[in-house]
Amino acid sequence: MILVHRITPFGIALVSIAAFASLIYSPFFGMKVLIPAAAMLVFAFSRLLLWEFRRPAFWVFLGTPMLLWFSSLIFFSFLEDPVSKWVIATTVTFGVALYAENVFTFYHLPSAYQAYALENLSLVLYVLSAFFFTSGAFGSQLFLLLPVWIPMLVVFVDVLFATVSVFWVSKIGFETGRPYAIVGAILMAELYSVLSTWPTSFVTNAATFAVLLYTFLVLSRANVLERLTKKMVIRTVVFSSVLLAIILGSARWL
């Protein structure tokens, strides 16, 4: 039994990269592969999580990698360069497989589990998911002429789930983290509305959104855990400011 769980992360990586490869080399066939591939990923993660549907941990640990995978497909659909597609495919596959590996050690080999691994990895994956999803949302507004309130609503739900999940993995109870999650979701939805008016590309807007979401998650989590210090605030703000300066400084303003 443990052997099957041991090879599950490798199986997840193979399914993910095969799905992306089919989309790159044969988009029409790839579209047919997506649903079976998604079903296999959900099945593999569910089995790794021991089918514990009634536990919040199951939905958090399942939702995190699947949100990354699905949101990356939205961004993937706007890419044309094969090199860019392979960069996204390998990055997402590595992230999903690494998450599966840490879930395996957490559930089935706890003695080998590295403290805070899932906590830090969840934060990274949610920030990546935010970038992929919002880039797709901005792109959809541009090409499909969607009204801004539709992606705003989805962004609200996405950030709400991301904040609750990051807090839960950090051992913060739902009741404690709920006010931060609701306020953060409202603020990020409003930020999305503001960014949608910027004369920049959807990739620039999404990158800006992801950096600010990272800042919010890091500082709010530290505040709840009573780890927020002046030094940490300065370090986080400086790091985020440098990233924003690079993003906006290199952006093409229309």
What is the CB neighbour count within 10 angstroms for residue 146? 15
172, 143 in Cβ contact below 8 A?
A: no
Helix pair angle (2-25, 27-48), 10° resolution: 160
State residue 252's pLDDT score. 77
109 vs 101: CA distance, rounded Å: 10
Contact 173, 90 (CB under 8 A): no
In this prediction, residue 16 carries a pLDDT of 95
Residue 140: helix, strand or coil by DSSP?
helix
**What is the pLDDT tens value at each position of the chain, 254 positions in all?**
677 778 899 999 999 999 999 999 888 877 888 899 999 999 999 999 989 888 888 998 999 999 999 999 988 888 888 899 999 999 999 999 999 999 999 988 888 888 788 888 999 999 999 999 898 888 777 776 777 888 888 889 888 888 888 888 888 877 888 888 899 899 999 999 998 888 888 888 899 999 999 999 999 988 888 888 889 999 999 999 999 999 988 877 76
